[in-house]
DNA sequence: ACTCAGGATTTGAACGATCAAACTTTTGAA
DNA sequence: TTCAAAAGTTTGATCGTTCAAATCCTGAGT
């Protein structure tokens, strides 16, 4: 056989008509069991699969969701989108939906891309990431009636409980609060926070989580609260420098929670460099680097985020687009609770008793090394 | 207008026939300029774009390439696939090709997925990553005549210059050699190598690069060469422990090149912990973490890899699949030369003179800190 | 035996584009 | 002026599927 088998080939092989084969595939219930079996055998024998483009043309839907792969390799947590993408692809696959990628340098270019993909009937719906305050994309999409869901809640004007669009987000408040409470439960009595300047809604949300935990469990004065609250850009050096300063100005600090793993790593370096490598630190994002270095972190459970996104777009089970108005009231968004991952930190400065290194042949050999480089 | 405009709508608006509109889009040359202009206006006015599925059905090709998004978040260099994906998507977009994602837990599952995508005529060709010795996927693909290209050369049996399939790869030898030579040029006279156990062809390739540089430029004895050559698994701790041992056993080492940024980071930590935080170290992959921490590294220039992959599959310019046999002799693969990125390393242990930290309001304030924590 | 409802199956049309061939107009040379 | 070739445009068929309507079959009720 030169070309791929068509529904007609199957029909011929099973001695039935096109439509019966189609029915076996789409509405098996209405086909007589006997006939159905015969068709199924033919399908298997020919290794037939319906031609996706033909089906899409007829059905007037593409069963495809597009997502922008943005160039932001924003430092350490960059792999976040990567992991989300993976989760999304898996969930989508289970529903018979495909994930298409596109790129765009800026929001305007992204809108243009979306317009093209829509106009070519290439894509049914979109997933937007990294939304921000006053995002032109969401406005445009709403206006042009394009189905979409955002990863990230609308921080701006409209009411979170009745927004203009579907969204999924991670509950940064709950996550950061859990992290802080964990430290307090482990004996910390003075827990600081390293976050971002308060432009980002995400950062503020996480900050409030820390604040809630401290106010709830510790008797930290308002002045102290302000002193324990750092705001720096999401860069290793900035975090390191700020934390060095903080630790030197306040010896009693015995715990830190951070709005990202980047900041947490900076904090670890800072702690080590001022001889506090025992300081418990918790980050956010559960990035690969964090994992490699034994950093405890708040994991975003991207599987659930992805599942939530698809459920909002397509409904609980099927692969069909839910009409916007049908997705009623409180089901129009999902707030996912992240969970804390506790790890044994890798001491940056004091490699104690190298735990069975796997150096082989040409390695010089392993030996104990208990030297405290403090 | 309820539905999207079709070619017929445009034809009506421009007072021509379907086919003429089609010609304006696909073979503008054969349309009389006057008519063409009229059609183009109509196209713009209606914001018409050809229906992708209809076109694909008729043309019997999907203009889509699929790639597996695998779950490997392998530590620090994990973002590599992410970056490759981005480059690939951009290059593909320029050719009017779309990138589709899929997942699979293991090679067998991946083959099954590929089979499905092919049978559904969803995808024209595949890009395979993380190929390994005796990979069942490449065998299957070759046997079943599925067009594909691998990122990673075939290390196994068949001749590299006449392999059974198309491939693109990064020249690890050249990259590692350049790195080592750079260190030597900067004054290093005893340069070690941290790599992986010699199962991986990639690792050996990089090792040979270091070896070539050292033999070429330095008079290191064979015994020394063996002693300077570490092999550990791609884990931070393992690298750290092995490098600590190495540095303690040989004081004269004044440079290290590593087969990955993960290993390099481990080496940096090791160097710092034995008071050698000045030791120049170069990694491989140019990962985001490396960037964040100021690690010099060999960058894989994934743009070129992506371009190469597409050129092999689709030819220099167009979007059409090149017939396998047409891609003659030496154009059946690409070996991309990576380039070295030199950075000012962030001292892990001695944050000297915090360079204008951007801590704001609630930060305690910045101050000089020259303490050497040796 | 005859009708009718209902289920099971088949047939013709449509989705929106391109290809191949037919048709119409223009061009240029005799 | 005439005609053939070239250029420009249109028409009918097709890609592989599903929808809508038509047809065929089966068995129950009169």
User: Of A285, A266, A79, whose CA–CA distance to B288 is shortest?
Assistant: A79
Nearest CA in chain B to A277: B349
- Would you state the pLDDT for residue B344? 87
Contact B366 A245 (CB under 8 A): yes
Q: Chain A interface, mutation test: which of B193, B292, B354, most A Cβ atoms within 10 Å?
A: B292
Q: Does B353 reside within a domain? A: no
Rounded, the Å distance between the CA of A16 and C1' of D25 is 15
User: Of A337, A338, A332, whose CA–CA distance to A150 is shortest?
Assistant: A332
Rounded CA-CA distance B357/A64 in Å is 46
Q: Does A323 reside within a domain? A: yes
Q: Does A308 reside within a domain? A: yes
Complete DSSP assignment for A319-353? SSPPPGGGS-GGGGEEEEPPEEE---PPPSS---S
Domain boundary among A273, A300, A327: A300
Smallest CA–C1' separation from A11, nucleotide: C10
Domain boundary among B300, B325, B357: B300
In a shared domain, residues B157 and B187? no
Is the pLDDT at B131 greater than 90, yes or no? Answer: no
CB atoms within 10 A of CB A88: 28
Contact B101 A103 (CB under 8 A): no
* Strand segments (E) across chain B: 64-68, 98-102, 125-129, 148-151, 166-170, 191-195, 229-231, 255-258, 281-284, 296-299, 333-336, 339-341
A29 touching chain B per CB within 8 A: no
Domain boundary among B280, B300, B320: B300
Complete DSSP assignment for B29-63? GGS-HHHHHHHHHHHHHHT----HHHHHHHHT---
In a shared domain, residues B260 and B316? no
Confidence of residue A206 (pLDDT cuts 50, 70, 90): very high
In a shared domain, residues B159 and B250? no
Sorted by sequence, the CB contacts under 8 Å of residue A127 that are 6+ apart come out as A65, A66, A67, A88, A148, A149, A150, A151, A309
| Residue B220 Rama label (left phi>0; alpha psi -120 to 50; beta) | beta
DSSP A72: -
Smallest CA–CA distance, residue A22 to chain B, in Å, is 15
In a shared domain, residues A252 and A311? no
B38-42, B278-282, B369-373, range with the lowest pLDDT: B369-373
- Would you state the pLDDT for residue B288? 83
In a shared domain, residues B222 and B178? yes
- Would you state the pLDDT for residue B130? 85
Query: What is the pairing mode between strands B98-102 and A98-102?
Result: antiparallel
- Would you state the pLDDT for residue B77? 59
Smallest CA–C1' separation from A19, nucleotide: C10
In a shared domain, residues A110 and A93? yes
Write the residue in A50, A98, A373 that is nearest to B100 by C-beta.
Answer: A98
Number of domains in chain A: 3
Q: Does A345 reside within a domain? A: no
Q: Does A43 reside within a domain? A: no
Q: Does A73 reside within a domain? A: yes
- Would you state the pLDDT for residue B273? 85
In a shared domain, residues B110 and B225? no
In a shared domain, residues A222 and A294? yes
> Which residue range forms the structural domain that includes residue B325?
64-170+302-337
- Would you state the pLDDT for residue B78? 61
Nearest CA in chain A to B223: A362
CATH number assigned to the domain comprising residue B187: 3.40.50.2300
Q: Does B314 reside within a domain? A: yes
- Would you state the pLDDT for residue A355? 33
CB A338 within 8 A of CB B207: no
Q: Does A19 reside within a domain? A: yes
Nearest residue (CA) to C1' of C10: A17
DSSP A364: -
In a shared domain, residues B88 and B195? no
User: Of B123, B244, B319, whose CA–CA distance to A100 is shortest?
Assistant: B123
pLDDT, tens only, B17-64 = 999 999 999 999 999 999 999 999 999 999 999 999 999 999 999 999
């Amino acid at each position: 056989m030169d070309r791929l088998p068509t529904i007609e080939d199957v029909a011929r092989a099973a001695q039935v008509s096109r439509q019966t084969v189609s029915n076996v595939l789409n509405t098996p219930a209405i086909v007589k069991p006997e006939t159905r079996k015969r068709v199924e055998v033919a399908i298997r024998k020919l290794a037939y699969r319906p031609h996706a483009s033909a089906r899409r043309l007829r059905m007037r839907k593409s069963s495809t969701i597009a997502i922008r792969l943005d160039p932001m390799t924003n430092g350490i947590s960059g792999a976040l989108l990567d992991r989300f993408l993976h989760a999304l692809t898996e969930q989508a696959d289970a529903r018979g939906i495909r994930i298409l990628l596109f790129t765009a340098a800026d929001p305007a270019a992204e809108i243009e891309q979306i317009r093209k993909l829509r106009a070519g009937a290439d894509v049914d719906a979109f997933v937007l990431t990294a939304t921000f305050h006053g995002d032109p994309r969401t406005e445009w999409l709403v206006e042009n009636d394009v189905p979409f869901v955002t990863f990230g809640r609308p921080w701006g004007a409209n009411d979170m409980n009745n927004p203009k669009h579907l969204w999924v987000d991670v509950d940064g408040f709950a996550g950061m609060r859990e992290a802080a409470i964990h430290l307090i439960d482990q004996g910390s009595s003075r827990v600081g926070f390293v976050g971002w300047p308060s432009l980002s809604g995400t950062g503020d949300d996480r900050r409030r989580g820390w604040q809630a935990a401290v106010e709830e469990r510790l008797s930290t004065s308002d002045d102290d609260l302000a002193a324990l609250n750092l705001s720096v850009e999401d860069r290793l050096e900035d975090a390191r420098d700020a934390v060095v300063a903080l630790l030197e100005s306040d010896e009693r600090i015995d715990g830190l929670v951070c709005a990202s793993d980047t900041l947490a790593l900076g904090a670890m370096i800072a702690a080590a460099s001022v001889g506090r490598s025992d300081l418990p630190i918790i980050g956010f994002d559960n990035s690969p680097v964090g994992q490699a270095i034994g950093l405890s972190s708040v994991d975003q459970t991207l599987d659930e985020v992805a599942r939530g996104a698809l459920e909002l777009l397509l409904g609980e089970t099927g692969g069909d687009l839910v009409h916007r108005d049908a997705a009623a009231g409180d089901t129009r968004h999902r707030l996912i609770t992240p969970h804390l991952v506790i790890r044994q930190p890798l001491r940056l400065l004091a490699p104690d008793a190298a735990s069975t290194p796997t150096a082989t042949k040409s390695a010089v050999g392993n030996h104990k090394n208990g030297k405290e480089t403090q």
